[in-house]
Structure 1
Amino acid sequence: MTHVYLSAALMAEVASEVMDCLVTEVCLADVLRTDDPVLTAAMAAISHEAAQQAMGGPLYVETVARGLIIHLLRRYAAIMQRGPAASSGLGPAQCRIIRDHIDAHLAERLDLAGMAAQLGMTPCLFARQFRISFGSPAYAWVTARRLERARRMLAETGASIKQIAAECGFADQAHLTRLFARELGVTPAAYCRALH
């Protein structure tokens, strides 16, 4: 006999991603006996992987578990939704929170998971709602904010381009130079020379 335990948090996360809205609760139907080949195959794959302990095992099990959850949602679940659908984008307070978070952490590594956590959302749902609200993907918006801060620092401080690159979250001076030139049509050094 094989028992597979799927956490309520993972069920809600997958349901939120699949349905493009915040799902707070998933109630599975109380089914005692069923002949479901998808369930049988998923449980066999998870059981086999647990016995093998092979490379990439946890990732493999999570992938199978997510597929299993989608199947359960389709066939055996009642889903409770909260909040607006993803098509409505982020609310004004959420936009302010994420804008402030990004500005406060531009020098650091920013990723979807970390930004989504600020709003208690899954990365997939956050990415869709961010794009609707801000008009671009999160990575592009963050890059634009970094470039704007670099432009201001070049104009208002005597900091070196290397220091500005670090304080604005670019990998290095070359990374800043490449993106600055692509977006503004001039290198940071040439921009500084034109200002002074």
Structure 2
Amino acid sequence: MRAPGVASSYPTLAPWQVNLAMRTMGQKLSDSISISDVASMCRLSFCYFVRAFTNTVGIAPYAWFVQQRILSAKALLSETPMPLAQVALECGFSDQAHFTKAFAKASGMTPAKWRRLAKTLEPNGSIGSQTPICNLVNWSGQAHSSPPTMQQAQLDRGQVAQTPFR
């Protein structure tokens, strides 16, 4: 227990600051963003804002911003036939290579592979009847799961999974 008047070593944001920061970053997914500007809008220094945002949300502000871009990209990949380069630009990535690298780091697979697996979904939004589409595109902004592997999709459909010999 800390003494009255002593600042906590784990700063957090007030609810209005969290809402303002997330709303500001969420509205600028296709643009570049300055975390310093967001910190200023919240009336905090850059360093304090980054620490407080991380303590409050559980992820650093720029990492949260990139995560939102990836979620936006997943929605475009699953709902449109848009080329990957265009998806990259729509979601604020400088080019397709940067997009692919960030997407693969966040999802464990490339956007093209993710799209192919997402297309294996049946019209009711599932693979077989096991995986709802909300597992592929998480609209809540929480940690998201990747689509199942091709082998898992085949098993869900009752098909025999074949291991490639390469």
TM-score bin (small chain): 0.5 to 0.7
Q: Note the 1:49-128 alignment, pairs <5 A.
A: 87-128=10-51
- Higher-strand-fraction structure: 1
Contact 1:90 1:133 (8 Å CA) reproduced = yes
Cα distance, 1:87–1:157 mapped onto 2, change above 3 Å:
same
- Higher-helix-fraction structure: 1
CA positional deviation for 1:88: 3.8
Q: Percent identity, please.
A: 32
Task: Specify which structure has the bigger relative contact order, considering alpha-carbon pairs within 8 angstroms and separated by 6 or more residues.
Answer: 1
Contact 2:11 2:51 (8 Å CA) reproduced = no
Contact 1:86 1:125 (8 Å CA) reproduced = no
TM-score, normalised to structure 1, is 0.53
Q: Which residue of 2 aligns with 1:141?
A: 64
CA positional deviation for 1:144: 1.1
The runs of 5 or more residues in structure 2 that have no matched partner are 120-166
List structure 1 segments (4+ residues) > 3 angstroms apart after TM superposition.
none
Query: Is it true that 1:156 corresponds to 2:79 in the alignment?
Result: yes
Query: Is it true that 1:195 corresponds to 2:118 in the alignment?
Result: yes
| Aligned mates of 1:158, 1:113 — CA distance in 2 | 36
TM-score, normalised to structure 2, is 0.62
> Which structure is larger by alpha-carbon Rg, 1 or 2?
1
CA positional deviation for 1:95: 0.8
Aligned to 1:87, what secondary structure does the other structure show? coil
Instruction: Give per-residue Cα distances to partners, 1:53-103, cap 9 Å, x unaligned.
Output: xxxxxxxxxxxxxxxxxxxxxxxxxxxx9xx85724001121111111111
RMSD across aligned positions (CA): 1.9
| Aligned mates of 2:75, 2:18 — CA distance in 1 | 23
Amino acid at match of 1:180: F
Contact 1:130 1:138 (8 Å CA) reproduced = yes
Contact 1:147 1:180 (8 Å CA) reproduced = yes
Amino acid at match of 1:149: S
Q: Which residue of 1 aligns with 2:129?
A: none
| Aligned mates of 1:164, 1:147 — CA distance in 2 | 10
| Aligned mates of 2:14, 2:8 — CA distance in 1 | 11
CA positional deviation for 1:162: 1.1
Amino acid at match of 1:93: W
2:105 alignment partner, one of 154, 172, 182? 182
CA positional deviation for 1:183: 2.1
The runs of 5 or more residues in structure 1 that have no matched partner are 1-80
CA positional deviation for 1:145: 1.2
Q: Give the total of aligned pairs.
A: 114
Q: Which residue of 1 aligns with 2:55?
A: 132
